[in-house]
């Protein structure tokens, strides 16, 4: 909760004015029973029409002032709660962006989405209610009790007993509901994860006729969420009936005591009406307070979940100053590198090789051999468990993030485009790129026909995820995006898998003729894509099975020969 209050400091004035105007409204409301008592005793009992009219005038004035105070309080409370939630959302998003891939794998994408959206919305709603009612309701309750003591001490003792019992009930229910709502949010994470998985893999699910199985899986999670919510709801639902029962018993005792006092002459009828009104005010405020406690319980559990993410220290730290590079060192060098993810066996073991500047290196291996893990170490998406990964003779851990990433053009295995235009997506590579640089990148990536086929050219719309483009078109545009940067190191992580052989060959020819001669690393399942590379690294179960040129590996590396022969007919 410290994070919430820290962000609320920016709205300290609004956080004070909101509750203050609510207290003013409550204060005027507390005068209403006294005015009603005067109307009954001095107006109606004495048949004084003028006193009745004056009393009604005062009630109308109190009502108008109360409305103005209420609207003002709502304005300040809304400004503070929305502003605080906006700052929290911005902070949480920035923190998530700073987390490493390992951190994201550990925490989970679905739970991060839930905490960034649903949890923070609940916090915002709870904060708004708290600023308006957290002080107002207790103020009215205790104010009514004090006013009751000014009227009649014996009758007011009933108020004291009722408030003490209700305070105990509210405390018990709140302590039980906070952990219950936390479990509800955990189940909501599971629902979000299942839904996200089903929507992203809808085609696969239908292709394998697994729709019914996925429905059952979703129904299972949904039922679990239902039972969690039902349990939490049952606890919260006790609040209103218990409040009503306790207060109505208090009203019965009050009327009985007051009636006796009226007969004895110790109380007037107007004072009895005032006491009843004060008890009714307590009833109304405690019903509000009961609902407020439920909302605050949800908000507290959600804020704890947000705090858990904010408290998670990024697994990677980056220095602020750029290191001095070695001009004579290889472009990339792996020295005794091993990689192990958070659980399971090592993905890479004893990686030891170098890539010279301007070289084209192919990386090949069977499924699960560690190809993607290997190249992901270069831009430091993951940190090596053992050993060093050097870029230009410097350990990647010594580079500031922006300096390291600007050196590298990375084309991922899964082509990702973002909603906007073709131009806006290509400018991700370099925001300052001119038309000539963009045009050259498009031609080198063999994406000229993709842009030309669109009516608006570079300004043609790209839908979310690039779904208005085919797989091959998306891959060529993501390759063009990397080329716009004109990087020192180009990494293609099986990023030409959707291209036909002719386009793939034309792409490789264009890459070889780039005027700035980047170091190129091609991860591929096709031997045809890497057979002309200066060096080929063959991986097998996370280890190096062979390093050399195509012809050499056919002779010396059984793993490479097996891959090659599985793609081409073995000659007699």
Instruction: List, for residues 126-151, the tens digit of each pLDDT value.
Output: 899 889 888 888 888 888 888 888 88
Inform me whether the pLDDT recorded for 558 exceeds 50: yes
- Residue that is last in its domain, among 251, 282, 311: 311
For residues 342 and 259, state if they share a domain. Answer: no
Rounded-to-integer distance, Cα 487 and Cα 335, Å? 23
Mean pLDDT value across the chain: 86
Inform me whether the pLDDT recorded for 557 exceeds 50: yes
Q: DSSP label at 10? A: G
- pLDDT for residue 106: 81
Nearest to 352 by CA among 530, 544, 538: 544
Instruction: List, for residues 483-539, the tens digit of each pLDDT value.
Output: 999 999 999 988 877 788 888 888 888 988 888 889 999 998 888 888 889 999 999
For residues 307 and 336, state if they share a domain. Answer: no
- pLDDT for residue 124: 92
| Whether the model pTM is above 0.75 | no
Tell me if 321 is assigned to some domain: no
For residue 33, what are the β-bridge partners?
Answer: none
Sign of the torsion formed by the C-alpha atoms of 496, 499, 505 and 509: negative
Instruction: List, for residues 107-117, the tens digit of each pLDDT value.
Output: 888 788 888 88
Instruction: List, for residues 257-270, the tens digit of each pLDDT value.
Output: 777 777 777 778 88
Rounded-to-integer distance, Cα 330 and Cα 352, Å? 13
Tell me if 572 is assigned to some domain: no
Average pLDDT on 2-29 reads: 87
Instruction: List, for residues 30-42, the tens digit of each pLDDT value.
Output: 888 888 878 887 7
For residues 523 and 402, state if they share a domain. Answer: yes
For residue 538, the SS3 value is: strand
Tell me if 322 is assigned to some domain: no
Residues whose CB is less than 8 angstroms from the CB of residue 293 and which lie 6 or more positions away in sequence, other chains included: 170, 173, 174, 177, 239
**Alpha carbon of 325 to those of 49, 95, 266, 364, 410: distances in Å?**
96, 30, 95, 29, 21
- Residue that is last in its domain, among 277, 311, 345: 311
- pLDDT for residue 343: 61
Instruction: List, for residues 147-169, the tens digit of each pLDDT value.
Output: 888 887 777 788 788 878 877 88
- Residue that is last in its domain, among 266, 281, 311: 311
For residues 345 and 415, state if they share a domain. Answer: yes
Nearest to 258 by CA among 141, 158, 161, 146: 158
Tell me if 317 is assigned to some domain: no
Residues whose CB is less than 8 angstroms from the CB of residue 454 and which lie 6 or more positions away in sequence, other chains included: 422, 460
pLDDT-based confidence at residue 353 (cuts at 50, 70, 90): very high
For residues 305 and 399, state if they share a domain. Answer: no
For residues 251 and 384, state if they share a domain. Answer: no
- pLDDT for residue 537: 94
Rounded-to-integer distance, Cα 322 and Cα 398, Å? 8
Tell me if 319 is assigned to some domain: no
For residues 141 and 194, state if they share a domain. Answer: yes
Count up the domains in the chain and report the number.
Answer: 2
Check which CATH number belongs to the domain holding 134 and give it: 1.20.1560.10
Tell me if 277 is assigned to some domain: yes
Residues whose CB is less than 8 angstroms from the CB of residue 4 and which lie 6 or more positions away in sequence, other chains included: 84, 88, 123, 127, 303
- pLDDT for residue 569: 63
**What's the distance, Cα to Cα, between the start and end of the chain in Å?**
74
Rounded-to-integer distance, Cα 451 and Cα 457, Å? 5
Instruction: List, for residues 365-412, the tens digit of each pLDDT value.
Output: 888 888 989 999 999 988 898 999 999 999 999 999 889 989 999 988
For residues 124 and 85, state if they share a domain. Answer: yes
Instruction: List, for residues 39-79, the tens digit of each pLDDT value.
Output: 887 777 777 788 888 888 988 998 899 899 989 999 999 99
- pLDDT for residue 344: 64
Rounded-to-integer distance, Cα 121 and Cα 344, Å? 37
Residues whose CB is less than 8 angstroms from the CB of residue 244 and which lie 6 or more positions away in sequence, other chains included: 283, 287
Nearest to 177 by CA among 44, 48, 300: 300
For residues 186 and 273, state if they share a domain. Answer: yes
Count the residues in the chain: 572
Q: Is 209 exposed, middle or buried (0-12, 13-18, 19+ CB in 10 A)?
A: exposed
Domain with 492 in it: 332-567
- pLDDT for residue 362: 93
Nearest to 14 by CA among 65, 66, 84, 61: 84
Average pLDDT on 531-549 reads: 91
Inform me whether the pLDDT recorded for 452 exceeds 70: yes
Rounded-to-integer distance, Cα 333 and Cα 392, Å? 8
Nearest to 399 by CA among 326, 315, 321, 490: 321
Tell me if 74 is assigned to some domain: yes
For residues 304 and 372, state if they share a domain. Answer: no
The residue whose two tokens read 């080329």 is 483
Rounded-to-integer distance, Cα 364 and Cα 293, Å? 60
For residues 495 and 537, state if they share a domain. Answer: yes
Check which CATH number belongs to the domain holding 478 and give it: 3.40.50.300
Tell me if 287 is assigned to some domain: yes
For residues 358 and 300, state if they share a domain. Answer: no
Instruction: List, for residues 358-378, the tens digit of each pLDDT value.
Output: 999 999 988 888 898 999 999
The residue whose two tokens read 């209420």 is 70
């Amino acid at each position: 909760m410290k994070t919430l209050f820290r962000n609320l400091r920016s709205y300290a004035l609004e956080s004070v004015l909101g509750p203050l105007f609510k207290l003013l409204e409550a204060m005027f409301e507390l005068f209403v029973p006294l005015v009603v008592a005067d109307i009954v005793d001095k107006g109606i009992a004495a048949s004084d029409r003028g006193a009745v009219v004056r009393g009604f005038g005062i009630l109308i004035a109190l009502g108008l002032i109360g409305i103005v105070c209420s609207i003002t309080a709502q304005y300040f409370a809304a400004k503070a709660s929305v502003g605080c939630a906006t700052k929290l959302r911005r902070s949480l998003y920035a923190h998530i962006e700073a987390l490493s891939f390992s951190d994201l794998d550990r925490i989970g994408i679905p739970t991060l989405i839930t905490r960034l959206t649903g949890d923070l919305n609940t916090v915002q709603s709870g904060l708004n209610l708290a600023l308006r009612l957290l002080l107002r309701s207790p103020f009215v309750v205790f104010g009514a009790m004090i006013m009751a003591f000014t009227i009649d001490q014996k009758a007011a003792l009933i108020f004291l007993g009722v408030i003490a019992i209700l305070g105990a009930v509210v405390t018990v229910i709140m302590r039980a509901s906070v952990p219950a709502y936390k479990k509800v949010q955990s189940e909501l994470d599971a629902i979000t994860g299942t839904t996200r998985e089903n929507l992203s893999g809808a085609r696969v699910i239908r292709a394998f006729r697994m729709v019914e199985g996925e429905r059952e899986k979703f129904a299972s999670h949904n039922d679990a969420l239902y039972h969690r919510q039902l349990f939490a709801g049952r606890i919260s639902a006790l609040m209103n009936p218990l409040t009503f029962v306790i207060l109505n018993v208090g009203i019965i005792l009050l009327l009985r005591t007051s009636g006796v006092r009226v007969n004895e002459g110790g109380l007037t009828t107007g004072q009895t009406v005032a006491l009843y009104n004060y008890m009714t005010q307590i009833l109304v405020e405690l019903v509000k307070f009961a609902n407020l406690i439920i909302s605050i319980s949800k908000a507290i559990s959600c804020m704890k979940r947000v705090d858990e993410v904010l408290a998670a220290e990024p697994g990677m730290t980056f220095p602020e100053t750029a290191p001095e590079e070695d001009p004579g060192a290889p472009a990339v060098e792996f020295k005794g590198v091993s990689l192990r993810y958070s659980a399971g066996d090592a993905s890479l073991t004893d990686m030891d090789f170098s890539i010279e500047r301007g070289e084209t290196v192919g990386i090949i291996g069977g499924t699960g051999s560690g190809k993607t893990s290997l190249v992901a170490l270069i831009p430091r998406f993951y940190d090596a468990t053992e050993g060093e990964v050097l870029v230009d003779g410097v350990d990647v851990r010594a580079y500031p993030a922006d300096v390291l990433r600007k050196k590298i053009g990375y084309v991922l295995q899964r082509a990702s485009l973002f909603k906007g235009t073709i131009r806006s997506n290509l400018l991700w590579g370099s925001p300052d790129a001119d038309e000539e640089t963009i045009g050259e990148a498009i031609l080198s990536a063999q994406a000229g026909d993709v842009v030309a086929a669109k009516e608006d050219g570079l300004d043609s719309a790209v839908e979310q995820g690039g779904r208005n483009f085919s797989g091959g078109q998306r891959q060529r545009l993501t390759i063009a995006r990397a080329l716009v940067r004109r990087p020192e190191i180009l990494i293609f992580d099986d990023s030409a898998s959707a291209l036909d052989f002719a386009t793939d060959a034309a792409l490789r020819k264009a890459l070889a003729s780039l005027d700035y001669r980047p170091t190129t690393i091609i991860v591929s399942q096709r031997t045809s894509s890497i057979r002309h590379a200066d060096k080929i690294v063959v991986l097998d179960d996370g280890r190096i099975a062979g390093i050399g040129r195509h012809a050499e590996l056919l002779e010396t590396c059984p793993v490479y020969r097996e891959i090659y022969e599985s793609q081409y007919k073995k000659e007699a």
